[in-house]
A and B are shown apart, each in its own frame.
Chain A
Amino acid sequence: MRSRGDSAARIWFDEALTQLADDTGELVASYTKARRLGRAPLSLSAAEKNGAAQLLPDVQFDHWTLEDAGRAALLLSAATARPDSFVRAATDCYDQGDSAEQQSWLKSTALLPEPDQLLAIVIDACRTNILPLFEAIACENPFPARHFPERNFNQMVLKALFNKVALSRITGLAGRRNADLTRMAADYASERRAAGRMVPSDIGLAMTETP
């Protein structure tokens, strides 16, 4: 982040991180203000991608913006400085967030500590009808495959099919396929055929065996 964005935004960001680190900053306020980092793509260089892949092998940053990355850094800084109040503060960032803040938050979930404490928010966020919010959870994000109970994971996959989100974007889908998901996908295909509608061509990715 220190090499990206305009200089005023960079100075603000550095200051905000420092204040969080020495426990004088306010996470929720900074989380909103991070909008000044902008929505340009993060566009990691090949070297940066390599570095990230070594630390976080299953996280992809292709769909991240500068504000997404800045917000993730703010959350991690707060988690290090005040681990005891991290869950409360992170929850406030989500609850009080607008749609862009909530997207940043959901994209970053796989990087955050105490995933079990954040799981209920992420599952509930899947109920949204705002597609970019749903994609922030379901796509290029290892959190659901790592932490969702089977029933919630299956619902998320069905919702992706329903919303024409390519199943190839669901990180870890192959390892989480199960008999119930296979049945749900087959039922969905049958319902689509009965209605005279197209069956998504990638539906087989949700099935343990192709019918």
Chain B
Amino acid sequence: MKIFDPHVHMTSRTTDDYEAMAAAGIVAVVEPAFWLGQPRTFVGSFVDYFNSLLGWERFRASQFGIRHFCTIGLNPKESNNPKLADDVLALLPRYLDKDGVVAVGEIGFDDQTDAEEACFAKQIELARAHNLPILIHTPHRDKKRGTIRSIELVRSMKFPEERVLVDHNNEETLPIVLESACWAGHTIYPNTKMDETRMAALVKKYGSDRIIVNSAADWGISDPLKVPKTIDVMRRHGIDDDTIQRIVWNNPVTFFAQSGKLDVSGIDARPAIDRGQQYATNSVLRGER
């Protein structure tokens, strides 16, 4: 089974993770731009971060046979820094046009402040201008209201809902998203958000239309193998392979292909991996050649 992890912050992960992911059948990932745990204080930190998503990280993934795409955006948390937000927004048009940038994201609400809403709306406009779908992060706190507000904002701006992926859903937000035409992402985490068994129950209840599953693995407690682990649990709950394949491959591919920049051709035949390749004179090898 071909597996796509449509939300994983590989910058925070090790080469062991890449090896385990490839061995488990993950052939493509999307790495959304997000915050790094430590707040950034200079716009230049974003320039370097975006460059590393498009450069070194994509190369690093390729060295493990994994196709790496990314989304670019100003996350909701750092939208609250007035010294930074406008400068980052001004950078975005340059990055949104780049190769392999398959959506604007993660954007949305965290504390649900006015500043977050303003940056969210501006980035919806950017998505329209650059013909990209959007990836919406829904908040940890006051999640249901944050989800409703996100969909209302998309709707009020007349952004096409089928080009919107609302992420980090739970039992209470999924029906709200499915009532719209947006897609529904689910983050399978060890302790918070969603787990494998609950996810299997949601699939049995709601089916597989517009349903997407990801690991959102990052620098916190998380697991980059959560998509393959969820496949195992779904199978044990009697969900058939066609349904599972739709959730872990067809759906994310269909969604991000709306960018016109998701090239998954030739992904069945895994590229021969040459780890001697270099990126700006650097390789994933440590001296051995």
Contacts and interface: CB of A to CB of B under 8 A. Distances in A.
B113 A190 contact: no
A194 interface: yes
A187 B170 contact: no
B214 interface: no
Contact of B141 (A128, A159, A194, A195): A159
Interface string A180-211: 00001001101100111000000000000000
B170 A158 contact: no
Interface residues of A, number: 19
B144 A191 contact: yes
Given A127-B77, A151-B113, A196 B198 contact: yes
B145 interface: yes
Contact of A158 (B39, B41, B141, B172): B141
Given A124-B80, A196-B198, A191 B113 contact: no
B198 to A, nearest CB: 6
Contacts of B41: 95
A158 B110 CA distance: 12
A187 B170 CA distance: 13
B171 interface: yes
B277 interface: no
B287 interface: no
Interface in B132-164: 140-145
Given A124-B81, A127-B77, A194-B172, A187 B142 contact: yes
Contacts of B37: 129
A117 interface: no
Contacts of B238: none
Given A194-B170, A194-B171, A127 B141 contact: no
A210 B279 CA distance: 60
Given A191-B170, A195-B171, A195-B198, A162 B141 contact: yes
A93 B112 CA distance: 28
Contacts of A158: 141-142
Given A124-B81, A151-B113, A194-B171, A129 B220 contact: yes
A195 B110 CA distance: 21
Interface in A134-184: 151-152, 155, 158-159, 162, 184
Most central of B141, B143, B144 by chain A CB within 10 Å: B141
Contact of B111 (A95, A129, A152, A196): A152
A187 B144 contact: yes
Interface in B52-87: 77, 80-81
A127 B113 contact: no
Interface string B108-128: 001111000000000000000
A179 B91 CA distance: 40
Given A127-B39, A127-B110, A129-B37, A184 B142 contact: yes
Given A129-B37, A158-B142, A187-B145, 7 more contacts: A151-B112, A151-B113, A158-B141, A184-B142, A184-B145, A187-B142, A194-B172
8 contacts: A124-B80, A127-B110, A155-B142, A184-B145, A187-B142, A187-B145, A191-B171, A195-B194
Interface of A: 95, 124, 127-129, 151-152, 155, 158-159, 162, 184, 187-188, 190-191, 194-196
The 6 closest A-B pairs by CB, nearest first: A194-B171, A158-B141, A155-B111, A184-B142, A127-B77, A194-B172
Interface of B: 37, 39, 41, 77, 80-81, 110-113, 140-145, 170-172, 194, 198, 220
